[in-house]
Structure 1
Amino acid sequence: MRLHRLELEAFGPFAGHEEVDFDRLSDAGLFLLSGPTGAGKTSVLDAVCFALFGQVPGARDTAARLASDHRDPATTPRVTLEATIAGRRIRVSRTPPHARPRKRGEGDELVSVSATATLEVDAGDGWTPVASRIEEVAHELDALLGMTASQFLQVVMLPQGAFSGFLRADAKSRQALLERLFDAGRFSRVEDRLRDQDRTAASVVAQARVAASTALAAAAGRWESPQSPPELTDGDDVDDVATWLAGEEERLRLAHEQAAAALESARDVAREAAAARDQAREVAERQRRRRDALERLRAGDEDAQRERAARLDAHRRAVPLAGHLSQVAAARAAAGDAERTLAKARAWIDGLEDDALAGTAPDGWGAGARERAEQAAALRDLAELEAGLPGRRGELERRRLAARADAERAAAARARGDQAEAQERDLRDRVERGRRAATTAAELAAQATAAGERAAAALERDRLEREVQACVARAQAAVDAHQAALDAVLDLRRRRLEGYAAELAAGLRDGEACPVCGGDHHPAPARPGDGHVDAAQEERAEAEVERLRGRREDAERLLGERRQELAAAQQAAGLGAAEALAAERDALERRLAEAREIAGAGEGAATALAELERRRTADRETEQEALRAASAATARADALAEELDAVAARVAQARGDAPSVAARMRALEHEARYLEKAAAAHEGAQAAAAALDAAEARLAAALAEHGFDAPPDPRTILAPRDAAALEQEVERDARERRSAEAALAAPEVAAVAELPPVDLAAVERRTAEARDAVERATAVADAARRRHADVTERLAGLRTVLDALGPLTDAARRAHALSELARGGSGNARRIQLSAWVLAARLEQVAAAATIHLRRMSSGRYALVLHEEAASARGKGTAGLGLRVQDGWTGEERDTATLSGGESFFASLALALGLAETVSAEAGGAQLGTLFIDEGFGSLDEQTLDEVLAVLDELRDGGRAVGIVSHVPELKQRVPAQLLVEKARDGSHLRHAAAAPL
């Protein structure tokens, strides 16, 4: 793949139209993409990735933020890329999601526009459209590129920082990246499938054992087995369980037969007890009947019976006169009541101070009552007006007070409005000053924030510079100590080899073969010389070398980390002194505080001004409303005063000598009511006298008719209920005597007269005991029958469950062994999982390709090798994915974390190039015509930078172009072709340039 041309429109930091001629840059083979921090160097690479895949790398992949913040809202953001892929020249154009103004209508409202994509190919005579939808474009490009976006970012855009982490990562983290780049998913899926099968088989076996154990425990509980069933821990316990089941079946069968025999015996005893109980009950009932009859005869009182019969006869003779007697008594009582009422009425009328009524006949009392009632009715309305006079006079006073209060309220509102005019002018001046200060504060806040960040970064930069100096000294001391110890080990090895003959001679024995010549005679064995070295001394020296190597690696790793932190701090702080930057920050913060104070006062004045205007408007409205209310209240008070004067005159005339009209009205109503009652009493007395005469005449006729000389005593006449009760008592006396005599004469009762009393309770007790015994025997027999039936019914099912356990256990063992083998567990000698084993082969290819570049960059010193033991110590299943650096100068392998900052850079770069070549081969051998390397050159010294650039220059073989993304000043003199990114307030711009002269 080769890039030809890139066009940007309102994309990222670029506000307008920008073009990149990659053909022009590629003619030089090696070109530089340079610019200040934050200008948009990485955004150029983002545009290429967005054009091909519709996304940008890493955390920047936010489609909603790809449209430039500096653009004109009417400008459509767009990226257009021309490239040759798989021998075909294509042009792809994409627009990210963005917002634009409405094309129709008014207002500033923006509308959202979705992303678009188009793809064209060069047909020789012009561009031919191929796809115009995002899904279609993605389908066509996937077929041409042959790689995913993740692979593209590792093959074409080499993010150096990411590969530095990959270089130092542990085996598990390195496995995650390799799985994204190489298709090892099918092997991971095999591992997962075998793991799932293992878990499923184990679960099935566990469930089967649990089910069998549960069924056995439930059966033992239901059968009340005296012996618990054997436990099922593996397949060898099945025979013990089968023996237990057979024994339980035989035990329950015998128990069932014994319980049935005991039940039949209990039933015979119960039948005999029931027959004896029935006979005893019959004799006891006859004896009870005889006792009752004797008791009834002894309980009768003959005198009382005769007295009740006489009372009943007297009642029956006098009962026909009961109505006449009661009517006479009632008429006589009513006549007496009427006379007494009439006497009271006459005495009240005679006491009235009214000459017209005094001494008049009762016939005139009704007319007097009607006259007084009419007079009282005529006074009722005027009495109500009289009762309301005090309240209405109070209302008159309230209306007059309200009129005065409204007039005073209007005057106060007018005075407040006059005082507010001066305050309004002062507040408007303060509001204007606050607005100007707020604008200034916004500008100062941004300046103070930036100054504070630079000051903090400067302090961190100075601290890190001191730390780097200390780390350099410690690293140099550690290197010197390690080298000295290594030289000492080499010297000891030389001296030991020189004296090795004496060491062999020390083990020779006459008659035993020499390990060198084979002879069994040793006439002149060598003797140790001065300074002889033995194996123990060499081992101690090697242990010291290993200890010092660890110290050297720790020191070099710490130095590299501090150098990287220092580079970041220098980039953020610039070259300014920390004190000057802090002073600039403090001055800006003081100015910002002053501006904010003035702005805050302006905001308070604006609030006060708004409140003042609101109060002035309210005061004007209050004044007008109060004037209107005062006028209306005065008019209502005058009208009410006239009305009250007229009512007072009418009341004075109507009440006469009475204290009030109401009192006069109540007196008239009282007299009218008593006159009505007196007239009614006169009429009632006349009617009661006539009724008494009639009742006495009827009683005299009835006495003559029934042969009475005088009226009988009314007490001999009973009430109907009492008469009926007395009649029932007389009849019951006769009936009881006849019944008792008949009962004693019955043959069956007479037959038991001489028999002793029956103990029925003892008989019933014996019968109940026999019945309880039957119930207990029945329960025992039923339980025995159910248990025997249950064991017979469950036996086949339990044996089926037990028979299935064996094959299930064998299958689970096979599934577990396969799963352990695939995931690097027991049975896997190398402890490496299947997917890691495949990825280790890929990593070996990557390391071999990277070593070619690494040897060139390090002057033949370093190579990348796989290290299985290092990976195994970090996690089961990832053996074979460890990386170490082989040092050609010492012959030792080193941890990648011990590399210095510069060594880490070119090792990471070599690894990135090797991985790019391997992924390219994995993707079908696609030719990579354009590569980009992003940052990391600032940590290299001059010689190493020359070696790295020489390696990159060699990548141009075959027409390949390599782009370096960096802001390192030295590269601007070393790389001829350059694309500069210039930063400005209105957005960044791109410019082609040549290298600055040395």
Structure 2
Amino acid sequence: MKPLYLAMTAFGPFATMETVNFDDLGEHPLFLINGPTGAGKTTLLDAMNFALYGSSTGDRKGESMRCHHANDATETEVKFIFALGNAIYRVDRKPTQTTLAKRGDGFAKRQASAQLYKIIAQNGSPEEWETELLESSVTDVTKRVNELIGLNDAQFRQVVVLPQGRFRELLTAKSEDRESILASLFNTAEFRRIEEAVRERAQRINNEYHALKNQLKTQLENAGYQSIELAQEKLKADEEPIAETLKELNQLKATREQAQKDLTQAEELTKRFESLAASKQKLTALSEQAEAVAAAEKQLNEHDAAKRIQPEWLEFSRAREALSAREKALQQAKEQNEQAQLVQQQAIAELAKHKDTPAQIDKLKLAIDRFAKQLEDLENVNATLQELELKTHARNSAQEKKAAIATALEHTTDAITGTKVELTELNKAVQQHQNTEAKREQLQSQLQRLQQRDSLQRRIETEEGAVREAKTPLEEAKQTLADARIASQQLRLRWHQEQAISLAHELNPGEPCPVCGSKEHPAPAHSAQEGQLVTQEQLETADAQVTQCNSKLEKLRLKVNAAEATLASSQHQLKTHLQELGDLAKKSADSIQQDLTNLADLEKQQEQQKKALAEMNTRLEQLTVKEKKHREQATQFNDELHAAESAVKALESRLDTIDSDKTLRTLSVDEIETQRNTRRQQIDQLQTEHESALQRKAKAESQLASAKNAHETSIKEEEAARASLQAAEKAWSGKLVESKFIDSEAFSEALLDSELEAQLKQQVSEHREQLIQVNTAIEQDEQAIGDQTKPDLSVLLAKVDELKQNESSVDHILQSMRSKQEQLRNMIEGYQKLVTQSAELEHEYRVIGMLAKTLNGDNELRMSLHRFVLAVLLDDVLHEASVRLEQMTNNRYRLVRRETAGDRRQHGGLDLMVDDTFTGQEREVNTLSGGESFMAALALALGMSDVVQSYSGGIRIDTLFIDEGFGSLDSEALDLAINVLANLRASGRTIGIISHVSELKLRISKRIDVVRGVGGSTLRVG
């Protein structure tokens, strides 16, 4: 990331818009940001950090960065253009702020906003460059910046910006925090996912293995076996009883099948006897129905004869009905013709009444024209009168306005004079309280340094207490070790004595002593007291107790030494910090806090005065505008008065010309309109009645012609229907004579409806078929029975039921035995499969489980895979950092990585140490002095920048900003640090330094000067 352009408006101490074009400093500059305390040097870094992430390098909120000197109507805003490789981006960001409302009076709170653009063309000034919008919300812009730069807010402050009071953060960060920074810079999340994936797989395998073990145990318990071998023996032992039961079942089945066969044959013979009896009974019933069937056949024959002459009868009936209908239609047509002739005569007589209508209409139209002319003249007179009334009113109104505006102008002029006097007095009050911004920043810096002193003092008190607490168990442990050693020595002495007594018990007269070889034993050793003898186990336990106490003593001694070393380090830091404070150390943080409170009250009062001043300026502007407006209105109203008087005179002259005798003014427009409308209505009524009479005459003539045609047609149709009836009647009479029916009544009685005909036919047909079926069945049954007698089925049925019950009982026993055998076999097979799976999982877990533990840090180094990778990368960073640190410290210090964890309960691998060649020992980085810490942090940031860019093309760190810290260096160290930074500039880096050190002004020619003024600070680049 390389800065190109920065614009700040109403931001920090800058009341108006201030810009920095970094190209003015050179291609890859080493430049100094210079200015007095509180002028706003650090604000440049705050502005870049705020534009990118919405916060400052000192964790101040965006809304607190608004300049107190800014005009209330000016909005706080930062615009920052930077380059990432070949791509250029611009960020515009505004904080939440309160400014003058754009509409109406008062103030309005405006929410924070942000936009991110990509520069696509560079024409004109930087703010005129052509852009493409990428994001337009506060959250989305910050997220996209994180993705583009590859650093979040905290990481940016640690790697790119070393802000005031925080240059040691990256150097002294906790191992976990440093892991987060390195992981983001080097994009090593994939190794974390590998750790997690292997751990989850190992856990899943372990869970599956134990689940299988529980499942194996449960299967055996549910089956009621203590081992799988017993289950297998049971499965084999069940085969013989099952075979015997199957043999018994087959025998019962054969017996039952033979009995069933005998029963089936007996049932068939019984059915034959029953069928023969039923057929004979049915034959008797059919014989009784023969007479009724014969009557039905006769009735059907007569019906067939009637149907043969039925068409002629139907034709005769239809012709008779048609003639009757035609006679009725003829009578109706005759009546309609007579009615039409009567209507035509009435229409002709009505039309004769309207022969004078055209003349009447012409006379009425002439009257209407006279009324129209009279109405036009009256409307002209009335319009002139109305206009005259309006002009007269306008003249009077202009006279009143002229008088009113003269009074208002006098009041406004007096208000302007009074406001100018008040404004002069308030300006004097505001000028008395300027430049509080610099004083506030100075007090905040002093408060922060005093709070750091108080924090160190409290930490020293805590560490002194820790030393005292650590020494108490140390003394107790020394006494415990001494007691354990005495007890062990006494026990060992007693053991040696008891060994002599044991040998004495085994001596026999005349046999040599195994110790001295003598055959005489004048004074063998004996025990002075009765009791248990000391054993070898007791001696080993006593020695182990001594070893354990000694180990505990060493651990406590190391703890005391560590606590004393920590205390000494803190005391050294406090001493260094007090030296840096100087006379400020005599003050308390509470007094500085009270000064800040007083200053805040003063700023609040000043803010109220400024707001009142702005309101008064606004009121003066409004009064001036109001005065100008009143003068313009006075001129306007005077012109209107002259114009109105001229118009009144002109209208009065025109009215005398139009209506000189004033007769038109006595007439009413409504009366003339009423007369004219009455004549129009009379014309409309005459025209309507005349047209209606013509239409009725035409309609009557048309209806008469239609009625005549209909009457003639009806006469012809009646004659045709009568001829058709005569022909049909002749044909029917001929057919009736030829048939066997006496008359038409006999013919009608012979006809049957379709439903009765179908019933009779079905009756005859069914009787005939049933008679054939019954005779056939009787013959077949008598042949099948022969000379056999009817069997007794109850005996055979009882035998079959008994055999079925026996067979079912044995079959149930067999199925139960087979089911249990199958369940046992399935259980054994499932158990064996689970055993195989369990063995496979156990083998797999030996490999994956060990791998998961190793990758997740369960190893001698307490280092996970992710930390191992980061440790390798950190070694590269420390190598590059140490090259520069050696240059800045005359080869005294090198940065190294602690190989083992300082605390076995925590993961190691990323803790930093400093290798001091003067002492030949490694020590904690927090033991460095202020100047040494600054150089180490600077070297670490530079080394981080080099390695990050060499490993990842996605993250480019082309810029480094350093805020203070050089004041802690002596002249020689300062020369060495400047040389390192100059070498970086030669390699294509942009280095910005904020410092009060006067020697830097002589060594660095490129500068951004921050100039403090009464109304806010300004910038000068060169």
TM-score range, shorter chain: 0.3 to 0.5
* TM-score, with structure 1 as normaliser: 0.43
